[in-house]
A = this chain, B = another copy of it.
Amino acid sequence: MKTRVTIWHEFVHEKSNPDVRKVYPDGIHGHLAKALAAPDLEIRTATLEEPEHGLTKEVVDNTDVMLWWGHAAHDKVADDVVRRVQERVWEGMGILCLHSAHMSKIFKALNGTSGKLHWREAGEKERLWTVDPAHPIAAGLPEHFELPYEEMYGEPFMIAEDAHVVFMSWFEGGEVFRSGFTLKRGNGRMFYFRPGHETYPTYKDPNVLRVLANAIRWAKPVLSAPYPKTHSPEPLEPLSQKDYNPGKAGIIR
């Protein structure tokens, strides 16, 4: 059975900035759909401007792994769509939050944090170090790899304490950053990956694409069915047989 992937993209910069359009003529979502295509994946895309942002209940319920890229329009994403996505993660759906999605509603809702960081756009060099080489997301990646031009994100990065760091970045301008980390929320898995500024062809880099391809396979749901409601495994006497004595330690209702 194929893994059902939905690539969600706000798709704003490509329409307002001709330089971004030159890098991604089909949008970041369109580009990634082609670049990540594989026999074991069934990929579709969805964008902000579609009804319910393209994330109807039917689409979300039938997604195994979602990718999320947003930046300029985080506030335009409806709260009930975010809740739908989050609840699906709790059920087991995987989600990859990309680059500036660190300030998206869904990233903050899953981390429980602000997602704040320091940043600078100066087209500087970024070098990513593989901190956990034995993680499935790092499979086939070198010890370190470089992106010649990227936006800088710097620490402190306000993320959940249980962020398991797979990649760390070194920046030409002097900063460090936890650039790739995993979380588990309910039955579902999240992966955040930092690189991917819209004005650079980062998503054409083979190492970056390999990280995303690995992460999709890693984030697939393990479990789909919820547990049935349970009853007491041990025999308990009925409430009414116990003393009612609110003054001491008693049962009241």
Contact = CB atoms under 8 A, between A and B. Distances in A.
Contacts of A110: 112
B112 A201 contact: no
Nearest to A169: B176
A19 interface: yes
Contact of A253 (B131, B138, B199, B249): B199
Interface string A85-109: 0010010100000000000000001
A interface SS class: loop
Nearest to A228: B143
A1 interface: no
Interface residues of A, number: 88
A90 B158 contact: yes
Given A19-B253, A109-B112, A156 B185 contact: no
Given A112-B110, A129-B156, A234 B174 contact: yes
A47 interface: no
B174 A232 contact: yes
Given A17-B253, A200-B249, A233-B175, A188 B134 contact: yes
A144 B81 CA distance: 34
A161 B174 contact: no
A183 interface: yes
Q: Give the number of copies in the complex.
A: 4
A173 B252 contact: no
Contacts of A229: 118
A170 interface: yes
A57 interface: no
Given A156-B129, A233-B127, A233-B173, A90 B114 contact: yes
Given A131-B156, A199-B253, 9 more contacts: A17-B252, A20-B252, A90-B158, A112-B183, A134-B222, A139-B222, A148-B249, A168-B176, A170-B170
6 A-B pairs closest in CB distance: A162-B162, A174-B233, A134-B187, A19-B252, A174-B234, A173-B232
11 contacts: A22-B252, A131-B157, A135-B222, A143-B227, A161-B162, A161-B183, A175-B232, A199-B251, A200-B249, A201-B246, A201-B249
